[in-house]
Structure 1
């Protein structure tokens, strides 16, 4: 395991070390759950006051013409470089679930004979649930969910769209994005990626992908329930239409026409009025990435992973996350028969991770605010806590 002195030396050479001061982090807490909810950026506090006191309090409805109305496209353009997209291919709106529904229904309606959504069994539940609901909205629609190793054989001439989560929410296993996109498109289907555990955590290049959704409250630090984003490749924007034809997606929302005409480009994927307090918080979180090299983020993530993996090995835990950095995201998952108790005891000691049923202890490794010294100390506490659990079980 890494020693405290070695961890301090790594921190001294860390190109991201100054970013820690941009977050509100409670004393005495080692926060290893930024993959579920990112911490509060300090800039969000000042921006929030401006939003409430000046933009809302003083400017009132005039603020819609002073930046509010353009915020979905503006923030989307800021997210675009983090996922390898063009600025006009990303828009911020709604939640991951709602955005996924829009894209899946649009894809099922796009082709006259292809009516199947292929996805991975064990994918994040909302993706599977939304896929079921989307398929039920289109005559002949169906969901074909199979194990990861069976995905290739499941894709055929009935497949309209393949939905995969780039980084698995439990294990952090990462798909080869370029290879799977090419495989799906060669079969004549559309490729849709869920980037919820990727964006802001690992280097992402959507490349030739068709569609994508992503989360704003995890690694983008947009706050609890932050708006999500969706991506539609430029070549598809005139061909696909959202099934949720809300007034903000209309070609002329203030023309107040009875009939719906979809807006141009990504504007057609908007639905209702953007929640500006939440949009402001997300924009503050996204702005943190303006001067960050994602290669530095990936390199630090790999170092933090190795430190915690070594602690898990010493504790006798089974690491279910791939050891190869190219095959994983930025969290690490261990299997333990009493994972719930392990997480509860660690939280009581100031190390916040999370539990995923039935036996996974999961720890987020967020390079923007975590120090090597913190992760080294967390590793020591994991080793001690696992040993205590073993002693308790033996005493029984």
Structure 2
């Protein structure tokens, strides 16, 4: 059984802060400082180049990948970490395109995170082969999965509203018409139960700096179905995915029948040290229990906001089973109200044009935090403190 009192103690949050933004950047585990100190003093300083062997740096892409894989239902040997999420989007979609080269349509939706769409646009220009990106409303995706479509690329949990696609239904229809499916799990991994093997996922990608608490710029991950490992074409073919990386051949040969072929270049071992101690916490939790607790806290948050904060309109799905682990409300003055809330040490975030977004992350958020956050929000609205000039200025990052 997951001990949420224990998990809360594992994070180093500032005194008095209510942090409802773990869906954008997870807080720092207390073990991060000693982990980084140990890496600097006991690995890089003492081992230098030997560390690739003596500290097994070379295979941490895989060992950490398997630990992330456990949280998304991936079997051992099918997930690696490294690079950024944008790179992994490019890599997975390109691999999907290569599987169905005669099909020129990539299907997404207009609620997808923009960088996913940008990466596909760039990939289509690079290929220069008449590709088309279609992005209907999320509710219209299923009817747009036709025999024209080569790759379906979707983010399971909508980054603004938290709306969840029906992963199993999308995959079944896509496979029935011969399409490949790429899932972005940026707002799923560590937030909701995922079973990539049980739902027959082709490719899945995601980041580790949100719910998984790997730190700013923490590495991304990519999953490839076992049935594809010997045939998937690694469009970005770096030395780290070569069959014999230290043979230094001038021609690329992908690692046969292994997830290593989806590795690209030399990863950040320092970042891996931070991710590893974050995963030490995740190794002790059950995703079904995490989701159940998140639903309980989210329902409490929605009830309290709707009862005490007039003017805010729920834009997340009301049914918790089709909602991720963040809750969003629309408010005409959402940006200023969020800045006032942050000034009161309750940290959420804002998404244009008018969405106030709150991450409900039970590893470090409890019932008292939920009530305390709504108390502050209610006061800001009643006193109209969001009207203060200091809350109107737009920061570089919202």
Tell me the TM-score range normalised by the shorter chain: over 0.9
2:106 to 87, 94, 117: 117
> Does residue 340 of structure 2 align to residue 345 of structure 1?
yes
> Does residue 283 of structure 2 align to residue 290 of structure 1?
yes
1:14 shift after superposition: 8.4
Aligned to 1:189: 179
Aligned to 2:210: 218
2:368, 2:148 → 1: CA distance? 52
> Does residue 76 of structure 2 align to residue 87 of structure 1?
yes
SS in 1 for 2:384: helix
Aligned to 2:13: 25
1:136, 1:323 → 2: CA distance? 39
1:167, 1:200 → 2: CA distance? 12
Shift in alpha-carbon separation, 1:14–1:56, aligned structure 2, 3 A: closer
Aligned to 2:349: 354
- 8 Å contact from structure 1 (residues 211, 233) kept in 2: yes
2:50, 2:149 → 1: CA distance? 47
Q: TM-score, normalised by structure 2?
A: 0.93
Shift in alpha-carbon separation, 1:115–1:21, aligned structure 2, 3 A: same
- 8 Å contact from structure 2 (residues 142, 170) kept in 1: no
SS in 2 for 1:253: coil
Alignment of 1:203-242 (within 5 A): 203-206=193-196, 207-242=199-234
1:392, 1:134 → 2: CA distance? 44
1:255, 1:20 → 2: CA distance? 47
Q: Deviations over 1:335-360 (max 9, x none)?
A: 00000011000011110100100100
2:302 to 305, 309, 323: 309
2:39 to 47, 51, 57: 51
Alignment of 1:257-336 (within 5 A): 257-264=249-256, 265-314=258-307, 315-316=309-310, 317-336=312-331
1:211, 1:73 → 2: CA distance? 16
Alignment of 1:5-154 (within 5 A): 15-65=3-53, 66-138=55-127, 139-154=129-144
1:388 shift after superposition: 2.3
Q: Deviations over 1:83-132 (max 9, x none)?
A: 01111111101011001101111111222311211000121000110111
Q: Deviations over 1:360-382 (max 9, x none)?
A: 00011111011211111111111
Q: TM-score, normalised by structure 1?
A: 0.93
1:390 shift after superposition: 8.5
SS in 2 for 1:42: coil
1:391, 1:279 → 2: CA distance? 40
2:187, 2:75 → 1: CA distance? 20
Unaligned segments of structure 1, at least 5 residues: 1-12
1:160, 1:288 → 2: CA distance? 39
- 8 Å contact from structure 1 (residues 108, 141) kept in 2: no
Q: Tell me which moved more, 367-376 or 13-22.
A: 13-22
- 8 Å contact from structure 1 (residues 216, 282) kept in 2: yes
1:150, 1:174 → 2: CA distance? 13
SS in 1 for 2:327: strand
- 8 Å contact from structure 2 (residues 301, 370) kept in 1: yes
1:379 to 371, 374, 382: 374
Across the aligned residues of Structure 1 and Structure 2, the Cα RMSD in angstroms comes to 1.6
When the two structures are aligned, how many residues end up with a matched partner?
Answer: 381
SS in 1 for 2:135: strand
Unaligned segments of structure 2, at least 5 residues: 389-398
Shift in alpha-carbon separation, 1:120–1:391, aligned structure 2, 3 A: closer
Shift in alpha-carbon separation, 1:231–1:392, aligned structure 2, 3 A: closer
1:153, 1:176 → 2: CA distance? 13
2:299, 2:96 → 1: CA distance? 40
